[in-house]
């Protein structure tokens, strides 16, 4: 038994914590943060060359599915729509 990290919605969620992501077919589902990917913006004509994109890598709690999301698409477990 370890101590579970609970993300408060600020900064980046720590690797290993559980978050909610919105899947269009089934709604909000819990996933575990597996890591991050940092890369340059795809459209360097529209955006400056120094702009980087951070994607949050997540995996399903059973480990069968993986996904990548922007920070704006990841929510704390206690998130409720107003």
Give me the pLDDT at residue 82, please: 62
Burial class (CB in 10 A: 0-12, 13-18, 19+), 14: exposed
What is the pLDDT averaged over residues 9-36? Answer: 90
**Does the predicted model carry a pTM greater than 0.85?**
no
Give me the pLDDT at residue 2, please: 61
pLDDT in tens, 37-61: 998 877 767 878 788 888 999 999 9
Give me the pLDDT at residue 6, please: 75
Query: Are the CB atoms for 55 and 68 separated by under 8 Å?
Result: yes
| Cβ count near 33 (within 10 Å) | 21
Strand pairing partners for 54? 38
Whether the predicted pLDDT of 18 surpasses 90: yes
């Amino acid at each position: 038994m370890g101590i579970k990290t609970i993300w408060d919605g600020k900064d980046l969620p720590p690797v290993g914590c559980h978050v909610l992501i919105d899947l269009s077919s089934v709604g909000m589902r819990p996933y575990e943060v597996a890591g991050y990917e940092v890369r340059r913006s795809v459209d360097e004509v529209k955006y400056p060359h120094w702009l980087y994109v951070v994607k949050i890598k997540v995996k399903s709690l059973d480990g069968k599915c993986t996904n990548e999301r922007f920070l704006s698409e990841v929510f704390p477990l206690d998130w409720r729509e107003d």
